[in-house]
Chain A
Amino acid sequence: MFVIVMYDVHVKRVAKVLKTCRRYLYWVQNSVLEGEISKADFAALKRELAEIISPDHDSVLFYTFRTTRYTSRESIGIQKGGEDRFL
């Protein structure tokens, strides 16, 4: 599956959330990561994030797609990150 993660958390926890997400997904821009992920890894990621955030103050959103076939993505301005497996 494909997932887009966005987070809005207290500054004290931003780095922790980012580091956790980076292990599973590609950083796209500040507070946004995306990538293909297995169901098991997605569950693990959510579990890890739940441990870090404060449920009363922070917010994390997950948009999931079974496939990206019927989606499109446009962007304007500079490209900051994203998936790249050919370095």
Chain B
Amino acid sequence: MVEKSLYIFSNGELKRKDNTLFFETTEGKKFIPITTVREIFLFGEVTFNSKVLDFLSQQQALVHYFNHYGYYSGTMYPRERIVSGDMILRQAEHYLDTSRRVAIAQRFVQGAAQNLRRVLKYYQGRGRDVENPLDKIESLIPSVSSYDDVNQLMAIEGNIREAYYQAFNSILSNAYFRFEGRTKRPPKSPLNALISFGNSMLYTTVLSEIYKTHLDPRIGYLHATNFRRFTLNLDVAEIFKPILVDRIIFSMIDKGMLKASHFVKASEGIFLNDAGRGAFVKQWDERLQQTIQVRELGRSVSYRRLIRMELYKLEKHLLEEKVYVPFAARW
């Protein structure tokens, strides 16, 4: 299946026309082949009716919508097509049994830490001074397996990430993108705005991939399952944040693709504007289609596919067929 994403930044109306998608703005009209669209990201002000929603559900396409500031607001998650009562029971079973839940949560933290380390190693190889954060992370990784409480795991994950962020100023030479602490809701610096936006793109992409599996996104292991939101995608995203989101940010800043004109000050924070979001999303989309060689498989797969494979590995773990080993980037 050709799985592509549609990103709408302009304001207009999305319609169902001639059994396919049709987007109409004051500037023009455009037909979009429905068979290729598996998810739609709405950043602009888009009007649509239930006819489109019904059509998109029927085609199993997800719609992620973002508010004016680029904050993720929600997803139109169509009725699950592939349901498995057994898988949901397994997911719940692993959540309710503390030792089993911790075993999975530990792996998410370890996987994330490994990939954070890999990113720093890369910059160390390029002569950046990341010695201290790297040492700190390496000293923390072995301790992850000794924590048997999810809250402690969240804390250690936070410590590892904090050490990692300390390396940002050595990696980035552009003075506009200084790292002075992580701030969210609202992000207080351009770099924070980028991290927040990139992370929400990743969360939604993982969610789209979860939809294609038997997993239920409401049951996460590291992030506590609650009444409000999807959490499994947050867990799995941890593994990919450093190698997808952070790498795109570094490379875009390095190449001078992001400037002050891509950011706006609003409601006591700093946000990407449409041009900034557009620039990031283009890189994001390209990266997901980029393929890398996976040694275990002996062939190359796209990053999007890699996310899906991570979910399949998790399914196998839940079915107790094969212990889940998180993806570890090799470069």
**A contacts, CB < 8 Å to B:** 19, 22-27, 35-38, 40-41, 81, 84-87
- CB of A84, distance to nearest CB on chain B (Å): 7
SS class, residues of chain B in contact with chain A:
mixed
Task: Count CB-based A-B contacts (< 8 Å).
Answer: 60
Q: Please give 10 more A-B residue pairs, beta carbons under 8 A apart, in addition to A26-B33, A36-B2.
A: A23-B18, A23-B35, A27-B31, A35-B36, A41-B2, A41-B35, A85-B4, A85-B5, A85-B6, A86-B282
Instruction: Pick from B4, B5, B25, B33: contact of A25, CB below 8 A.
Output: B33
Q: Which residues from B are CB-within-8-Å of A19?
A: 18-20
Q: Which residues from A are CB-within-8-Å of B20?
A: 19, 22-23
Residues A84 and B30 in contact in the complex (CB < 8 Å), given A23-B19, A35-B36: yes
B25 to A, closest residue via Cβ: A87
Contact digits for B12-55, partner A, Cβ 8 Å, 1 yes 0 no: 10000011100101000011111110000000100000000000
6 A-B pairs with least C-beta separation: A19-B18, A23-B20, A22-B31, A87-B8, A36-B2, A86-B7
Number of B interface residues at 8 Å Cβ cutoff, please give it: 27
B278 at interface (Cβ–Cβ under 8 A)? yes
**B contacts, CB < 8 Å to A:** 1-2, 4-10, 12, 18-20, 23, 25, 30-36, 44, 278, 281-282, 285
Q: Which residues from B are CB-within-8-Å of A81?
A: 30
Q: Which residues from A are CB-within-8-Å of B1?
A: 38, 40-41
- Contact B33–A23 (Cβ < 8 Å): yes
Q: Which residues from B are CB-within-8-Å of A27?
A: 31
